[in-house]
């Protein structure tokens, strides 16, 4: 069993998106580092709760794993988007500064 098969079985896009939005709101409303360092943990717990809710509060190891993977994946998605934004922002800044030098 490879990683993609595991993700296909246990990654629930709805939970990832809900956790992504909740994590984004937490990060931007509470700007202290006291809460920011716990956001992945909060997303993991929220992912488990949402997974349980989606499965009529039935608890199995598969449902637990799906919630954990989906909740934690939202933190990875956020960091990925943040890295892409920073990368293309740097390219844009370099492009603009080169244009100004050429004028």
pLDDT at residue 70, as a whole number: 93
DSSP result, 21-84:
HHHHHHHHH--SHHHHTTHHHHHHHHHHHHHHHHTTT---HHHHHHHHHHHHHHHHHHHHHHHH
Residue 73 pLDDT: 92
Give pTM, 2 decimals: 0.77
Q: What is the pLDDT of residues 8-57, one digit of tens each?
A: 888 999 999 999 999 989 988 887 888 888 999 999 999 999 999 999 99
Question: ∠54-60-63 over CA atoms, to 5°?
Answer: 40
């Amino acid at each position: 069993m490879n990683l993609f098969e595991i993700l296909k079985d246990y990654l629930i896009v709805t939970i990832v998106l809900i956790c992504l939005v909740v994590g984004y709101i937490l990060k931007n409303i509470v700007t202290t580092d006291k809460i920011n360092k716990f956001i992945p943990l909060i997303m993991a717990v929220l992912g488990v709760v949402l997974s349980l809710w989606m499965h009529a509060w039935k608890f199995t190891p598969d449902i637990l794993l799906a919630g954990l993977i989906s909740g934690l994946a939202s933190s990875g998605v956020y960091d990925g988007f943040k890295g892409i934004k920073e990368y293309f922002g740097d390219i844009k800044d370099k492009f603009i500064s080169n244009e100004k030098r050429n004028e």
